[in-house]
């Protein structure tokens, strides 16, 4: 195993009660890499991210992050270690203002440097006092990613970030992801293949709870080979 | 056809065991277990099949008991008619409050039912004091005439009657469990939206389940009334609100024979423990917490799979 | 109806409502954040009242008793949270509810064991009377009302101005997201539970001079407190305050019109409100589960 692997998931099995969702899933992510997971709805992509984030307990298998095992660690501690999960539901704390949302991110990580957030998302600056419930879908996604950036995470697990967003915002997010990858690794679950091919360095195709293919060739990614796995 | 035989065997076996209780243990104890088991099965059905927890079962128990008591105290003397009237008043109240209650989420449902039990308590104790005689209760033991064949005034005849009644109730619940309706109940518990898509009305299913369960509870109430020949508001006292829930948990939620096992264990423990310590609540409370921490399966819920395995093994070896 | 009776009725209702509010707010917060129905809050209420009685007997001051009641209730709540709830938070809501009922019943048993069955009196710490519009009102009742309003302001400030409070508000909306940010939610749970326990203890201590202290007192107010929580909407602080005062008024004014109405009328009002809005006045449908 090469030493620059940041996150290594090995033979991961996950089940909800009786029904198995993931079968022997193994993936690995290097530092500052953008990796995408593609696959149909219900293939188990989100489950994979949630399991890495500590929200679901795997039945067997190992998750190693910077040479520490994440299995059995509470999700808030995983987040503190620098591995943050951004759910797909685009739920911000709607009763709290944007400022308060960010304050909570700072409170958890003790990182009060908001410049990096506003640098990526300048729009948030003008929205500070607005209740997050009144934000548009794109603004919410910005807030969710921005909130997660506090504490300088090493890995961001992003679940369907562009689902239901306008094309102009998708382009903006695309640039942000590319920019972010200078500092952190990103694992993105995505259905939008043009985004996937534009930013991914590697792609895992997930089907019925198994990783069926790993595409690491750049020209393959650019030429939309992934399409056959959707 | 084979199917019918299979479940009826289980039923017969269970009631054979109950009959043994009558033979080997004192009669009042056997009667109490029977009534308590009938009292509990409604609660068990609501919690295990429909997912509604009810801390308000005493309300329906009291309605059944007072329905019977009013008849026997003021109007007639035939205990069978009394029981019938008690059961009918149970149906009436369940039909009446059902539409309001079954719309609620299960947590609200529990609270609203508890509130109903308390209201019933005040209703029977204070507001209707003129006809219920308040805390003194209604005494009508001497009003009841003896009936031919089965004389309910006689405890051993009462046992036979209750035994047959319980058998009918269990056969009904067994039938319900195996029917489409039972499946629908389970479905509204786990995923009401999907059931809606299949074309069933959650509301109707819940309402029907609510009526069936609470009618059974009211039946237990009228049995209590006839057995003791006496009813007082104490029957719906808030401190007893948890009794059926405890027995349900003790026996095993959602199991058919859980209520019998639970009623047996609960009544037995109550008689045993209250002989040693007067402080019964402390023990029951701790027991409840213990059951919850230990994994909420209850006695029958734990025993059933083991018994099944044993019987299955035997059958295999004889083959 | 003559005005004097009406005014004293309103004040009586407000003071009853205040006690209900202090009790209900803990229940409401616990439900909102942890998704548990913490029936054991009624136990901390009784403990608050009994400690008030005990400390009054030994020190002669009801106020010291109330303070002591708050502290002891908070400590007991902390212990219960650590040893029982921490293990069952993830279970279904009905199961935590049953467990909390078990704690309540066991606690009532323990109280009977320590203090006996007989009701015990606690005198009012303020004997003075105030005159409002020509009606004599016990000052103590006014003090109870003021304390509960101060608590409301305090809770509001806590939830809106402190970071822990903001995290609790965020958690009421979506606990998983709070966890995902890296905040230790179990610390929030413990904090909330202790706050709830202390407020329940305060409610018991303040209520003690207005009633007799007896082992069943928790079970006696239980239905009313639940009406308050249900009418207000589980998880809403403002709704709890509004509905506490509604229920208080309905009880006291109902009693003036016709005695037994005191117990019946709130139930009728609750049914009516649930009929129109099944989630209560301020309850939202956003809540998961």
Residues from chain C contacting residue A86 (CB–CB below 8 Å): 180
Task: Give the span between the Cα atoms of B293 and B286, in whole angstroms.
Answer: 10
Task: Give the span between the Cα atoms of C147 and C202, in whole angstroms.
Answer: 10
Of A53-57, B17-21, B164-168, C175-179, the range with the lowest mean pLDDT is B17-21
Q: Are C87 and B293 in contact (CB under 8 A)?
A: yes
In a domain, C282, yes or no: no
Which of A80, A89, A108, A109 to substitute to test the interface with C, most C CBs within 10 Å? A108
Q: Are B82 and B225 in contact (CB under 8 A)?
A: yes
In a domain, B257, yes or no: no
Angle at C128 between CA C124 and CA C132, to 5 degrees: 120
Q: Are B253 and B243 in contact (CB under 8 A)?
A: no
Q: What pLDDT tens digit does each residue of chain C (289 aa) get? A: 577 788 888 888 899 999 999 999 988 888 888 888 888 899 999 999 999 999 988 888 889 888 999 999 999 999 998 888 888 887 777 778 888 888 888 888 888 888 888 888 888 888 777 777 777 888 889 999 999 999 999 999 998 889 999 998 888 888 888 888 888 888 899 999 999 999 999 999 999 888 888 888 888 888 788 888 888 877 778 888 989 998 888 888 888 877 766 767 777 777 777 767 777 777 664 443 3
Q: Do chains B and A touch (3 or more CB pairs under 8 A)?
A: no
Query: What's the gap in Å between the CA of C86 and the closest CA on chain A?
Result: 14
In a domain, B198, yes or no: yes
Instruction: Give the domain extent around B172.
Output: 2-240
Look at C193 and B153; give whichever has higher pLDDT: C193
> Interface of chain C against chain B, CB under 8 Å?
31, 37, 84, 87-88, 91, 93-99, 101-110, 112-113, 216, 219-220, 222-223, 226-227, 229-230, 234, 259-260, 263-264, 267, 270-271, 274-275, 278
Number of structural domains (chain C) is 1
Closest CA to A215 of A61, A5, A12, A35: A35
Chains that touch B (3 or more CB pairs under 8 A): C
pLDDT in tens, B207-247: 888 899 999 999 999 988 888 888 888 887 766 777 888 88
Residues from chain A contacting residue C175 (CB–CB below 8 Å): none
Question: How sure is the predictor about B91, in pLDDT bands with cuts at 50, 70 and 90?
Answer: very high
CB-nearest partner of B53 from C31, C94, C267: C94
Task: Give the span between the Cα atoms of B30 and B302, in whole angstroms.
Answer: 24
Residue B315 has pLDDT above 70, yes or no: no
DSSP code of A121? -
pLDDT of res. B2:
44
Query: What's the gap in Å between the CA of B204 and the closest CA on chain C?
Result: 17
Residue A1 has pLDDT above 60, yes or no: no
CB-nearest partner of C182 from A87, A93, A109: A109
Residues A199-224 have a mean pLDDT of 81
CB-nearest partner of C179 from A75, A101, A105: A75
Dihedral-angle region of residue A208 (phi above 0 means left; psi in -120 to 50 means alpha; beta otherwise): left
| CA dihedral sign, ordered A50, A55, A58, A64 | positive
CB-nearest partner of A104 from C172, C176, C183: C183
In a domain, C285, yes or no: no
Instruction: Give the domain extent around C22.
Output: 3-276
In a domain, C101, yes or no: yes
Kindly state whether A82 is in contact with chain C, defined as any CB-CB distance less than 8 angstroms. Answer: no
Alpha carbon distance, N-terminus to C-terminus of chain C: 47
pLDDT in tens, B190-204: 777 777 777 777 788
Number of structural domains (chain B) is 1
pLDDT of res. B125:
80
Task: Give the span between the Cα atoms of A22 and A12, in whole angstroms.
Answer: 7
Chain-chain contact of B242 with C106 (C-beta, under 8 angstroms): no
Look at B20 and C6; give whichever has higher pLDDT: C6
Residue in chain C closest to B120 (alpha carbons) equals C264
Residues A203-218 have a mean pLDDT of 83
ipTM of the complex model: 0.83
Q: Are A124 and A98 in contact (CB under 8 A)?
A: yes
Residues from chain C contacting residue B118 (CB–CB below 8 Å): 222-223, 263
Chain-chain contact of B287 with C234 (C-beta, under 8 angstroms): no
Q: Looking at residue C271, which CATH number applies to its domain?
A: 1.10.3470
Q: Are A132 and A94 in contact (CB under 8 A)?
A: yes
Task: Give the span between the Cα atoms of A49 and A9, in whole angstroms.
Answer: 11
pLDDT of res. C289:
34
b/e string for A145-173 if b means 16 or more Cβ within 10 A? bbbbbbbebbbbbbbbbbbebeeebbebb
Residue in chain C closest to A93 (alpha carbons) equals C170
Beta bridge partners of A206: A211
Alpha carbon distance, N-terminus to C-terminus of chain A: 30
Decide: helix, strand or coil at residue B232: coil
As a whole number of Å, the CA-based R_g of chain C is: 19
Neighbour tally for B289: CB within 10 Å: 23
Q: Do chains B and C touch (3 or more CB pairs under 8 A)?
A: yes
Query: What's the gap in Å between the CA of C132 and the closest CA on chain B?
Result: 33
Contacts of B307 (CB under 8 A, 6+ apart): none
Kindly state whether B271 is in contact with chain C, defined as any CB-CB distance less than 8 angstroms. Answer: no
Residues from chain C contacting residue A79 (CB–CB below 8 Å): 179-182
Which span out of B111-115, B274-278, C103-107 was modeled with the highest average pLDDT? C103-107
Closest CA to C268 of C279, C252, C254: C254
pLDDT of res. B275:
67
In a domain, B9, yes or no: yes
Q: Which helix (H) or strand (E) holds B42?
A: helix B27-45
b/e string for B37-75 if b means 16 or more Cβ within 10 A? bbbbbbbbbbbbbbbbbbbbbbbbbbbbbbbbbbbbbee
Q: Looking at C28-140, which runs of residues are DSSP E strands?
A: 120-121, 129-132, 135-138
Q: Are A136 and A124 in contact (CB under 8 A)?
A: no
What would the CATH number be for the domain defined by A5-222? 3.40.50.300
Residue in chain C closest to A104 (alpha carbons) equals C167
Query: What's the gap in Å between the CA of B144 and the closest CA on chain C?
Result: 32
Task: Give the span between the Cα atoms of C65 and C241, in whole angstroms.
Answer: 25
pLDDT of res. C74:
92
Q: Which of residues 148-207 of A touch C (CB under 8 A)?
A: 148, 151
Task: Give the span between the Cα atoms of B180 and B201, in whole angstroms.
Answer: 13
Residue in chain C closest to A85 (alpha carbons) equals C180
Residue B318 has pLDDT above 60, yes or no: no
Residues from chain B contacting residue C251 (CB–CB below 8 Å): none
Task: Give the span between the Cα atoms of B175 and B160, in whole angstroms.
Answer: 22
Decide: helix, strand or coil at residue A185: strand
Look at C17 and B305; give whichever has higher pLDDT: C17
Contacts of C243 (CB under 8 A, 6+ apart): C24, C227, C228, C229, C231, C232, C280, C281
Q: Looking at chain C, which runs of residues are DSSP E strands?
A: 120-121, 129-132, 135-138, 212-213
Decide: helix, strand or coil at residue C78: helix
């Amino acid at each position: 195993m090469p030493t620059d692997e940041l996150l290594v998931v090995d033979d991961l099995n996950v089940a909800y009660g009786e029904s198995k969702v993931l079968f022997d899933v193994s993936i690995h992510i290097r530092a500052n890499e953008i990796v995408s997971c593609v696959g149909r709805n219900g293939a188990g992509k989100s489950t994979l991210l949630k399991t890495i984030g500590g929200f679901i307990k795997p039945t067997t298998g190992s998750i190693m992050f910077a040479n520490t095992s994440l299995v059995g660690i509470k999700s808030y501690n995983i987040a503190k270690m620098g591995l943050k999960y951004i759910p797909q539901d685009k739920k911000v704390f709607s009763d709290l203002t944007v400022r308060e949302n960010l304050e909570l991110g700072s409170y958890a990580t003790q990182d009060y440097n908001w410049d990096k957030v506003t640098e990526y998302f300048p729009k948030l600056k003008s929205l500070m006092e607005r209740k997050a419930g009144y934000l548009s879908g794109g603004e919410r996604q910005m807030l969710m990613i921005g909130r997660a950036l506090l504490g300088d995470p090493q890995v961001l697990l992003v679940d369907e970030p562009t689902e239901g967003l306008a094309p102009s915002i998708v382009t903006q997010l695309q640039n942000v992801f590319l920019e972010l990858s200078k500092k952190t690794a990103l694992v993105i679950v995505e259905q939008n293949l043009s985004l996937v091919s534009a930013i991914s360095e590697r792609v895992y195709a997930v089907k019925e709870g198994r990783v069926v293919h790993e595409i690491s060739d750049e020209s393959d990614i650019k030429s939309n080979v992934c399409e056959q796995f959707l | 056809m084979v199917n019918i035989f299979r479940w009826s065997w289980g039923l017969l076996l269970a009631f054979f065991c109950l009959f043994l209780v009558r033979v080997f243990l004192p009669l009042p104890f056997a009667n109490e277990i029977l009534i308590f088991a009938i009292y509990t099965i409604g609660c068990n059905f609501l919690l295990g099949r429909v997912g509604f927890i009810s801390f308000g079962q005493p309300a329906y128990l009291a309605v059944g008991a007072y329905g019977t008591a009013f008849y026997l105290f003021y109007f007639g003397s035939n205990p069978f008619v009394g029981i019938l009237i008690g059961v009918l008043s149970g149906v009436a109240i369940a039909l009446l409050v059902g539409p309001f209650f079954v719309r609620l989420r299960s947590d609200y449902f529990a609270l609203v039912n508890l509130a109903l039990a308390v209201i019933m308590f005040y209703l029977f104790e204070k507001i209707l004091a003129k006809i219920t005689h308040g805390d003194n209760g209604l005494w009508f033991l001497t009003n009841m005439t003896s009936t031919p064949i089965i004389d309910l005034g006689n405890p051993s005849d009462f046992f036979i009657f209750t035994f047959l009644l319980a058998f009918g109730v269990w056969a009904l619940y067994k039938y319900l469990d195996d029917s489409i309706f039972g499946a629908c109940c389970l479905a509204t518990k786990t995923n009401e939206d999907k059931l809606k898509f299949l074309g069933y009305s959650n509301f109707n299913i819940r309402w029907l389940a609510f009526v069936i369960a609470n009618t059974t509870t009211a039946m237990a109430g009228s049995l209590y009334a006839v057995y003791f020949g006496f009813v007082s508001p104490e029957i719906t006292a808030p401190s007893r609100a948890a009794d059926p829930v405890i027995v349900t948990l003790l026996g095993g939620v959602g199991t058919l024979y859980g209520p019998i096992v639970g009623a047996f264990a609960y009544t037995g423990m109550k008689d045993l423990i209250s002989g040693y310590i007067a402080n019964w609540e402390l023990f029951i409370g701790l027991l409840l917490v213990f059951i919850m921490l230990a994994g909420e399966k209850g006695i029958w819920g734990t025993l059933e799979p083991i018994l099944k395995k044993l019987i299955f093994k035997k059958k295999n070896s004889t083959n | 109806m003559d005005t004097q009776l009406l005014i004293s009725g309103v004040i009586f209702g407000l003071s009853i409502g205040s006690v209900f509010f202090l009790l209900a707010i803990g229940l409401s917060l616990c439900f909102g954040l942890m998704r548990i129905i913490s029936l054991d809050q009624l136990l901390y209420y009784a403990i608050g009242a009994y400690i008030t009685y005990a400390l009054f007997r030994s020190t002669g001051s009801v106020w010291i008793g109330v303070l002591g009641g708050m502290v002891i209730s908070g400590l007991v709540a902390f212990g219960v949270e650590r040893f029982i709830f921490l293990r069952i938070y993830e279970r279904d809501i009905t199961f935590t509810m049953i467990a909390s009922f078990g704690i309540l019943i066991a606690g009532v048993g323990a109280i009977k064991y320590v203090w006996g069955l007989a009701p015990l009196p606690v005198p009012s710490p303020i004997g003075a009377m105030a005159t409002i519009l020509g009606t004599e009102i016990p000052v103590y009742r006014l003090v109870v009302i003021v304390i509960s309003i101060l608590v409301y302001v305090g809770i509001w400030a806590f939830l809106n101005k402190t970071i822990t409070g903001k995290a609790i508000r965020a958690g009421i909306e979506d606990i998983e997201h709070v966890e995902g940010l890296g905040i230790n939610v179990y610390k929030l749970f413990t904090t909330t539970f202790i706050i709830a326990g202390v407020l329940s203890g305060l409610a018991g201590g303040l209520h003690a001079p207005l009633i007799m202290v007896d082992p069943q007192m928790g079970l006696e107010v239980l239905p009313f407190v639940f009406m308050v929580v249900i009418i207000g909407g589980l998880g809403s602080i403002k709704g709890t305050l509004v509905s506490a005062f509604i229920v208080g008024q309905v009880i006291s004014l109902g009693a003036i019109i016709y005695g037994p109405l005191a117990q019946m009328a709130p139930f009728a009002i609750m049914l009516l409100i649930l009929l129109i809005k099944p989630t209560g006045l301020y309850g939202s449908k956003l809540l998961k589960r």
